[in-house]
Structure 1
């Protein structure tokens, strides 16, 4: 009997994710409306292309979110849930985007009903954050170890709260827009690996390095 050069711990195939086929649950106060786009958006993807040809509007108590949907995605409203499928489950692009669009639709539904939230924690001597209104525009102003005060105007659809001088809570219906704004603020002073000073996003932690010895 020929010996095996490599030990096999398992001969089973790894299980694949089934996020795309999972139903998206609806609440009675969520309204959906899908219309065809006058000018479809074409995105090249290697030798293939993705055609975004319909606009899905999701309305709820917290507002409205519009999503551009590709032509290969099928959305079936079953009353209390949505069933999402693709035209060709053998196509790699369609399979890879199946779960992505299911998550985008689910996040939009959660956003217009319960909303999303993110937190930024400021760590460092003298680090602090506060909210200011300048010429009827609300700003996030931060003191993060520099001489001048830095900040950004708060986009529409996002609200900010400061429970303390070192904590900023952002809330909004659009999760992508919310986290993008949080990332722009964090990039002004990302955590540094020696003293741990910086802006931390949603419970983020870093591993500290040993101090440099001259």
Structure 2
């Protein structure tokens, strides 16, 4: 059977495509505000603005987006080139030049943060911490010498009891000894505190014992028999 070898020009045309202006699929999606939710921007004086470097470019965070709701207030620092518009309860985020990498990155990041903030001030965020293992459990107790302060006490097989002070911004409850529910307006704080608890006893892959967060699962391994 006769086979025709493709020419180099046709091969190259299939492997390469023309470039186009990239856009953020996340950034383009509008955010719907519920009843009683406010969203507006505030300018930050230059001397109080935070800065970070990206390669040779210095980005100044001289503006903040404020979201107010029944559960609290959230503020997000953004550079001046990020624009936020409120049209009849729909928040849209845009940047002047989506082909520039930094602007495109901040476009999608800002939209994701705003969406988390809107959910936080309306419904709140939560993380479920589960304790798997014989005798593994947690309790919420008062901190001696600190009036009104609470701490999480872990009983996870150590000869001592690890403790973690509960941040003021978070609410931690224990429906049963092997479950903790962490709630708060700030999603990052909620997940970070859950991760701190998990650090004390990460799930091990042979018996599956340890501390799990939300819907976390692990693949069990078989023990090597010598």
Q: Contact conserved, 2:23 with 2:99, CA < 8 A, in 1?
A: no
* Residues 1:11 and 1:46: Cα distance change in structure 2 (over 3 Å): closer
Q: Pick one of 89, 95, 109 that aligns with 2:98.
A: 89
Q: Contact conserved, 1:151 with 1:185, CA < 8 A, in 2?
A: no
Shift of 1:35: 1.6
Residue 33 of structure 1 pairs with residue 40 of structure 2 = yes
Is the helix fraction higher in 1 or 2?
Answer: 2
Please identify, of 76-85 and 46-55, the stretch whose mean Cα deviation from structure 2 is larger: 46-55
* Residues 1:12 and 1:207: Cα distance change in structure 2 (over 3 Å): farther
Deviation >4 Å, runs of 4+: 10-13
Q: Contact conserved, 2:127 with 2:182, CA < 8 A, in 1?
A: yes
Counterpart for residue 127 of structure 2:
118
Q: Contact conserved, 2:24 with 2:104, CA < 8 A, in 1?
A: no
Taking structure 2 as the reference length, what is the TM-score of the superposition? Answer: 0.86
Counterpart for residue 133 of structure 1:
142
Superposed, 1:64-79 pairs within 5 Å as 64-79=73-88
Superposed, 1:58-207 pairs within 5 Å as 58-134=67-143, 135=146, 136-207=148-219
Q: Secondary structure of the equivalent of 1:157?
A: coil
Counterpart for residue 57 of structure 2:
48
Segments of 5+ residues of structure 1 without an aligned counterpart are: none
RMSD: 2.3
Taking structure 1 as the reference length, what is the TM-score of the superposition? Answer: 0.90
Q: Over residues 46-76 of structure 1, what are the superposed CA-to-partner deviations in whole Å (9 max), with x where a residue is unaligned? A: 1222221112221110011111111221001
Q: Pick one of 2, 5, 9 that aligns with 1:2.
A: 5
> Which of 1 and 2 has greater Rg?
2
Shift of 1:120: 0.6
Q: Over residues 72-104 of structure 1, what are the superposed CA-to-partner deviations in whole Å (9 max), with x where a residue is unaligned? A: 210011121111101211101111221111010
Q: Contact conserved, 2:119 with 2:125, CA < 8 A, in 1?
A: yes
Residue 23 of structure 1 pairs with residue 35 of structure 2 = no
Shift of 1:28: 2.3
